[in-house]
Amino acid sequence: MIQKIINDEFLDELFPPERADEFFNALYGGAETGAFDISLRYNDFNKQQGILYLHFLLTERPGKCMACSLTAGLPPVFQRHPVINLKGMIRKIEEKLSPEWSVKDWSIGSTTVLGPETNAIPLMLYLEKTNG
């Protein structure tokens, strides 16, 4: 029987509990930012079709909001993700403002809920007047 072979012990070896911390560390730069634990679990087996169904079980961590975790964790991802290329965008903004202004510094804030279907991630550019 498949369920006896693909049991919790085997699945924990395949996807150990500490893998969630490794995932959040890689994604966000720190395991403490993760809002949930991840485990791999058996769900079902359809013998006729030969389909084994597993699922990643996401369990909310104490004091965290799993529903908020994706948007709440986005600022640090935006800050360093090459597709977003925040540093490149800031460089282009600075070029556009030149020669009158330069970007002295910048920061990205926490996700803010604007409405039931709208969130915002603030980006602050600290400008400095130049001699242009």
**83 in the same domain as 105:** yes
Predicted confidence (pLDDT) at residue 10 exceeds the cutoff of 80: yes
**64 in the same domain as 10:** yes
**119 in the same domain as 65:** no
Predicted confidence (pLDDT) at residue 79 exceeds the cutoff of 90: no
pLDDT of residue 43: 93
21 Cβ partners below 8 Å, 6+ apart? Answer: 31, 34
Mean pLDDT of the chain: 84
Interval 48-66 mean pLDDT? 84
Domain boundary among 69, 87, 106: 69
**79 in the same domain as 61:** no
pLDDT of residue 132: 58
Any long-range contacts for 107-112 (C-beta under 8 Å, 24+ apart)?
A: 108/75, 108/76, 108/78, 108/79, 109/75, 110/72, 110/75, 111/68, 111/71, 111/72, 111/74, 111/75
Of 132 and 19, the structure prediction assigns the larger pLDDT to 19
- Show the domain range for 111: 75-129
**96 in the same domain as 38:** no
DSSP 29: S
Q: What percent of the chain has pLDDT over 90?
A: 18
Interval 23-42 mean pLDDT? 86
Band (117; pLDDT cuts 50, 70, 90): low
Domain boundary among 69, 85, 112: 69
Interval 32-42 mean pLDDT? 88
